[in-house]
Amino acid sequence: MAGTNSERTLVAEGPAIILVEPQLGENIGMVARAMANFGLAELRLVNPRDGWPSEKAQAAAAKADHVIEATTVFSSLEEAVADLNFVFATTARNRDGFKEVRAPVTAAAMLRQRFVGGEGTGILFGRERWGLTNEEVALADEIVTFPVNPAFASLNIAQAVLLMSYEWMKSGMENGATTPFQKVEQKPASKQQLIGFFDQIEDALGARNYFHPPNKVPRMIDNLRSVLSRPGFTEPEISVLRGVISSLDRFQRRWPEGKAPAGWTAGGPNAEADDRNDDGK
């Protein structure tokens, strides 16, 4: 999904993402990209297998350079979490039961609250092949796990980081919003505007002999107006629709505008109506 905009303010905050013994540079790069997508910026690596820095990680990060360039490397997990006050460990396996297990949305809300309070926070992610050891999980305060298919629970490390990063971003959105785009309220169309639209479309249709036979005209007008008034148009919507009719009306009419034959009046007092129950077809 394209959406990179260098003119917008870069969000870079939140908990540290800590990868324990990550194996592939490509995965580290995709983690950095996921973090940048959702406003996280601090990436910590514990003994990356192929060393650091990594050209493969840089390439896979897809311009998340601020994350890659600020990445720090530690020789042990104890060192990586030493300055943090609260840490979640991610796991797909049932552990010893001594730690609270949270859903991602709950974990993100807790991290947000602690982050706003000035605490150092982090999220641990294990190795691509077998995750975190029990000893590593023991260094965390609580566990976060994802609602996945129990028969196919293994997540790619970048996918796992993406899920938590998304929940982090969502936890900071106002009023529980789930998207960053807020609907712009538009003023409802006035009855005068709506009637003007009716008159325009009825005139355009009448000029092309849409309303026939004459005895059915009032019923057809009623049906048309009922359909067009149902959505509750806004002012901009009425303008769009009238523009559409004006464009279509450039094509040849059955008779010029305002030159309808005597006796034809769309919905007016001269229209005969001896069958008001007809469906107008």
Per-residue pLDDT reduced to its tens digit, 239-275: 888 887 787 766 655 556 666 655 555 544 344 433 3
160 vs 162: CA distance, rounded Å? 5
Choice between 26 and 154, residue whose per-residue pLDDT is larger: 26
- Amino acid (one-letter) located at 139: L
pLDDT of residue 148: 81
pLDDT of residue 214: 83
Per-residue pLDDT reduced to its tens digit, 108-148: 999 999 999 999 999 999 998 888 998 999 999 999 998 88
pLDDT of residue 205: 82
Domain boundaries, the chain: 16-176, 183-281
pLDDT of residue 1: 42
pLDDT of residue 229: 78
pTM over cut 0.85: no
Per-residue pLDDT reduced to its tens digit, 78-98: 999 999 999 999 987 776 667
Across the strands, what pairs with 44? 18, 72
The yes/no answer on whether domain 16-176 falls in CATH 3.90.1010.10 is: no
Mean pLDDT of 207-231: 82
- Amino acid (one-letter) located at 154: S
CB pairs under 8 A, 24+ apart, for 96-102?
Answer: 96/134, 99/137, 99/140, 99/141, 99/142, 99/143, 100/142, 100/143, 101/142, 101/143, 101/144, 101/145, 102/142, 102/143, 102/144, 102/145
